[in-house]
Amino acid sequence: MRADERAQFDPDEQRAIREDYARGSQPICPRCSVPMTERPIGGGSFGLGYARRREWLICPKCRRSALFDLKRGTRN
């Protein structure tokens, strides 16, 4: 299967998206080369003593997405 046929971004593609976002640049889909849309996701503390801030970046063309924790820069 070719990389452009896979349903999810590979780790290198996800890293590039996160790095663009962290620099304040508009993330570009590595598959379609179009600007990705941003969707913030709340992460209430639910009594855990912290609240996560996550970002969901979605390609409007191929519908692939990347989800990551803003503070840690990771998927979890």
More confident call, 28 vs 55: 28
CA distances, 11 to each of 18, 66, 67 (Å) = 11, 10, 12
More confident residue, 28 or 39: 28
As given in the structure block, the two tokens for residue 42 are 């709340």
Q: List, edge to edge, every strand of the sheet that includes 37-43.
A: 37-43, 52-58, 65-69
**Selected residue with higher pLDDT from 20 and 6:** 20
pTM comes to: 0.71
